[in-house]
Chains A and B, each alone.
Chain A
Amino acid sequence: MSVDIQLAPVIRFDPGEAAFGSARGGNLAATALRAGSLIAFAVILVVFSLTAPYFLSLGNIGNVLGQSAISGVLAIGLTIVLIAGGSNVVTGGIDLSLAANMGLSAAVYATAVQLGYGDATAVVAALVTGGLIGVVNAVAVVGAGIVPLLATLAVMNIVAGLELVLTQNTVIPAATPLLTAVSSSGPFGIPVLAYVLLAFALIAAAIVQYTPTGLRLYAVGEFPDAARAAGLAVRRLVAGAFIASGLCGGFAGILSVSNLSGSTTGSGEMLLPVVVTALLGSVFSRRLVPTVIGTLLSTLFVGFLVNGFQLLNISSVLVSGVQGLLILLVVSATTLLRK
């Protein structure tokens, strides 16, 4: 959050009174929107608490946190790329290979277990897989200068293809002490995955929002020319963001193997929800920029929506439509208030 305060004055230094005025107006609108989105979140929680049985129970809230762990880790990885690449959806930072990365890392983990390796080896193998995918993305974007949207799209296809080759499109079951521990319940009957998500988000937030490296990431994403002029290693920071995102994919893969007792097909379906979650995360930040905590909040927002709908026993054919409508409302509110 200190980053927000650091960067905000930069806009005010712009020459011309008009810019000064619009910046102030923009800040007001942003504050209103941030408050608005948090209030909307709170209202939805209250409505569900009053109408949906079991919603407010500790077990249920733990469930939602646990169910959000995989998409949350992926969305946080994507957030780092959005920060370093700038949040223009077409030309800015994006990592479309994340969901496929999770699928391949999970497949690598499950295959390692099937081959008789232990948890330690499998964890390393999955993280190395994720990291390597990040390196390939970094080379394509920073080295070859391909637009991230296209570079990571191509890598996504390669990774999905590798997963098919490795798994032959079948489910690979895996059961190990670590996987059982992660998929079980921890203190207060809350799933271990819930604690994993919170711990991961806090560590990521600490690095991204409160260290000089994090501040540089924002500088590179928002004002690449200024960052370069100030002597920042722009290319290295962007490459680092893709590698960090790749590692998040590998980590999410491990969580997925644990949650699904093995590696399963169809990981690619996670992509769009994760992209939506990461983009939606901006409305939960003070300056409408991607932040780790904002992304965590938007992950939980989506998680609570899905959970609440099921508890309210809304017909399954309506759920994704209503969900999409709510997200559209929040996003259009952002866009309108930004003007």
Chain B
Amino acid sequence: MSQENSAQGVGRRDLLKLSAVAGAALASAGLIGSRTAAAEEELSLKGKRIAISATGTDHFFDLQAYNAQIEEVTRLGGEPIAVDAGRNDGKLVAQLQTLIAQKPDAIVQILGTLSVIDPWLKKARDAGIPVLTVDVGSTNSINNTTSDNWGIGKDLALQLVSDIGGEGNIVVFNGFYGVTPCAIRYDQLVNVVKYFPKVKILEPELRDVIPNTVQDAFTQITALLNKYPEKGSIKAIWSAWDIPQLGATQAVAAAGRNEIRTYGVDGSPEVLQLVADPNSPAGADVAQQPAEIGRTAIQNVARLLAGQALPRETYVPALLANKQNVNDVSKKLGIG
């Protein structure tokens, strides 16, 4: 046993240290980010029509990013053309087609399944309209503003492995591997778990769905807990975003299996509240800063239209909220 532990090379204490360092690094990155934003007040979109195409606005993340973009375009003196596809791919494609016909000065696409939107982003580019994206990397996008999903995935996975003491079964929701940020976070979980031979991802993996995400996750986890009735047979539940986490947390609490911890990403206020509750099974939630991401994307548009070169990706720092620091994170995000 002890030999195995040393062979792994990373003990629980190291993990805790690691996540603390990561947290500090993220926090300082956050400070730098806000300082640069304040220094570039001279940006302008006067007389520009900026199209904002959202895949949906039914999640905290999209809604915050979408509204922040509209506000930022207006603040910089431009005219926003904002469309919301309500998570319907057919509508999303139709809206992009119409946007291309409207010939805006730039299109900013928020999220979306890459294989569905990419042909139309290419058509926009071919029509001479600059395309920028939020949280979806595409070869047809000049710049993608996003959270550092590699960092998010790694931080969340390390927190999870640390919380369960480096061993045990974890349940994974992997329904949206086609969505790039989810795929990166999942891959990072697999990368971290690879070095902890006693941590096992249970097969088959669960599939989270849209809509009815919460109810569906609740049902699936309730069924799974019946399949694994012994305490300790499941240590943690992971999902690439925090709406399945919400349902999973409720199911774990309802089944009285509070030894299980749940993990997710996005910083939805209701999940952060659960993380803050010492009795709740919610273990950690990596909070992105969607409004900041939205504003940054629009500032990038202004920079591009002013002739500046943009990096392929602009990363807005994410904040890992665990039981210890959740109140600070919520304060930083302006929630509660």
Contact = CB atoms under 8 A, between A and B. Distances in A.
B207 A66 contact: no
Contacts of A63: 94, 97-98, 101
B98 A310 contact: yes
Nearest to A70: B90
Interface stretch (B31-39, B115-123, B140-148, B264-272): B115-123
A220 B103 CA distance: 50
Contacts of A214: none
B119 A261 contact: yes
A171 interface: yes
Contacts of A266: 87-89, 210
Contacts of A310: 81, 83, 95, 98-99, 102
Chain A interface residue bracket vs B: 20 to 34
B123 to A, nearest CB: 9
A173 B98 contact: no
A171 B178 contact: yes
A164 to B, nearest CB: 8
A79 interface: no
Contacts of B151: none
Contacts of A262: 115-116
A59 B102 CA distance: 10
A260 B90 contact: yes
A323 B11 CA distance: 60
B98 A169 contact: no
Interface string A164-180: 00001111010000000
Contacts of B95: 310
B89 A260 contact: yes
A261 B82 CA distance: 24
A311 B102 contact: yes
A191 B94 CA distance: 12
Nearest to B84: A316
Contacts of A70: 90
A171 B98 contact: no
Contacts of A256: 90
Interface string A262-291: 101110011000000000000000000000
Contacts of A264: 89, 113, 116
A101 interface: no
B188 to A, nearest CB: 20
Contacts, number: 80
Contacts of B103: 54
B115 A67 contact: no
B210 A260 contact: no
A53 interface: yes
Contacts of B315: none
Interface residues of B, number: 32
A261 B175 contact: no
Given A54-B101, A316-B82, A260 B116 contact: yes
B177 interface: yes
Contacts of B115: 171, 173, 261-262
Contacts of B113: 171, 264
A288 to B, nearest CB: 29
A170 B102 contact: no
A270 B91 CA distance: 10
Interface in B70-104: 79, 81-84, 87-90, 93-95, 97-99, 101-103
A270 B113 CA distance: 19
Nearest to A52: B102
A313 B87 CA distance: 19
Contacts of A169: 175, 207, 209
B97 A265 contact: no
B119 A183 contact: yes
A259 B89 CA distance: 10
Interface of B: 54, 57, 79, 81-84, 87-90, 93-95, 97-99, 101-103, 113, 115-116, 118-119, 175-178, 207, 209-210
Which 10 A-B residue pairings sit nearest by Cβ, starting from the closest?
A173-B115, A316-B84, A67-B94, A264-B89, A171-B178, A60-B101, A171-B113, A63-B97, A310-B98, A260-B116
20 contacts: A59-B101, A63-B94, A63-B101, A67-B98, A171-B116, A256-B90, A259-B90, A259-B93, A260-B90, A261-B118, A261-B119, A266-B87, A266-B89, A270-B90, A313-B79, A313-B81, A315-B82, A316-B57, A316-B82, A316-B84
